[in-house]
Structure 1
Amino acid sequence: MTAINRRRALTGSAAIAVGVPVLAACGSDDGSTATDPTESSSPSPSDASPSEPSSDGTQTPGAGAALASASAVPVGGCFVNADAKVVVTQPTEGDFKAFSAVCTHQGCLVESSSEGDIPCPCHGSRFSLEDGSPVNGPATAALAAVEITVDGDSITEA
């Protein structure tokens, strides 16, 4: 009878040894969310680094990371650098602004557009080119601002 109890104990230990790492692999605490697989991806520089939110709600970008060329951002539209998760807008000629490209509703990436606002393809939210505020829900919070530098045709994170 001792052999049976030992066998059960070893079987249980083996199940735990195999099961715990498998369950751990199922979860992630990096905060990432899935995006709509039908969304269009925008070409972007490979040296861009992701932005991190700071305590005041703005983005703390990777300084000097290339985001876009000024010519890629349409007047009255926006260009998304998916690698950096930053959307660059040009509300009026020569006036460039940048925001987090992660929709505040459920974390999808917004899309590039020349339609006068920043669209999210997942649930229809739309954001202002001027300040990243929502102009159409379901999102209720603004996209976080990102500091940029414009030098000639090059737009980089400040």
Structure 2
Amino acid sequence: MPGRDLTRRGALGAVGVTCGAAVLGACGSNAPATPAVPPGIKGKVIAKTADIPVGGGKVFDDWKLVVTQPSAGVFKAYTATCPHAGCAVGRVRDGVIECPCHGSQFAIDSGKCVAGPAEAPLVAFPLKVQNDGIVVG
């Protein structure tokens, strides 16, 4: 308002509105999200390669992570949280990661949604094999 001094509360409110708009603007960007490795596991061996069946996988509830082996010697790691409603995926079978809440299914080789209602893929995490151990991060 013209002729009126800006109070601290008014200034902070203006900053909040400006920052909120910037955050909302970023939400609409097409920039790829950088996956954050679940806390406590970066650099640690979380499983042995023999624990993950070829053509299948294993859900690690403690870390909200699923590790798959789509083909012999190829390992992938994804978040175990379904992007549809935030439910934990339940199991891996027949080449898909299944969400028990609403039936969404995700490809074990890409995390891509192959059956909805989810539309987005599972978030992939970097993974490496060291000797016979699987390391995320």
In the superposition, the TM-score normalised over structure 2's length comes to 0.70
Amino acid aligned to 2:130:
D
RMSD value, Cα: 1.5
> Whose strand proportion is higher, 1 or 2?
2
Question: Pairwise mapping of residues 69-84 of structure 1 onto structure 2 (< 5 A)?
Answer: 69-84=48-63
Residue number in structure 2 paired with 1:116 = 95
For 1:92 and 1:143, locate their aligned partners in 2 and report how far apart those are by CA, in whole Å.
19
The structure with the larger Rg is: 1
Can you give the 5+ residue segments of structure 2 that lack an aligned partner in the other structure?
Answer: 1-30
Residue number in structure 2 paired with 1:131 = 110
Amino acid aligned to 1:116:
G
Amino acid aligned to 1:145:
A
Residue number in structure 2 paired with 1:56 = 32
Quote how far apart the aligned CAs of 1:83 are.
1.2
For 1:58 and 1:92, locate their aligned partners in 2 and report how far apart those are by CA, in whole Å.
26
Q: Tell me, yes or no, if structure 1 residue 66 matches structure 2 residue 45.
A: yes
For 1:72 and 1:65, locate their aligned partners in 2 and report how far apart those are by CA, in whole Å.
16
Query: Match of 2:118, SS?
Result: coil
Query: Match of 2:59, SS?
Result: strand
For 1:69 and 1:142, locate their aligned partners in 2 and report how far apart those are by CA, in whole Å.
25
Cα 1:132–1:81, aligned 2, differ >3 Å: closer, same or farther? Answer: same
Can you give the 5+ residue segments of structure 1 that lack an aligned partner in the other structure?
Answer: 1-54
For 2:64 and 2:104, locate their aligned partners in 1 and report how far apart those are by CA, in whole Å.
17
In the superposition, the TM-score normalised over structure 1's length comes to 0.61
Quote how far apart the aligned CAs of 1:58 are.
4.0
Count residues with an aligned counterpart. Answer: 104
Quote how far apart the aligned CAs of 1:112 are.
2.9
Residue identity (%):
43
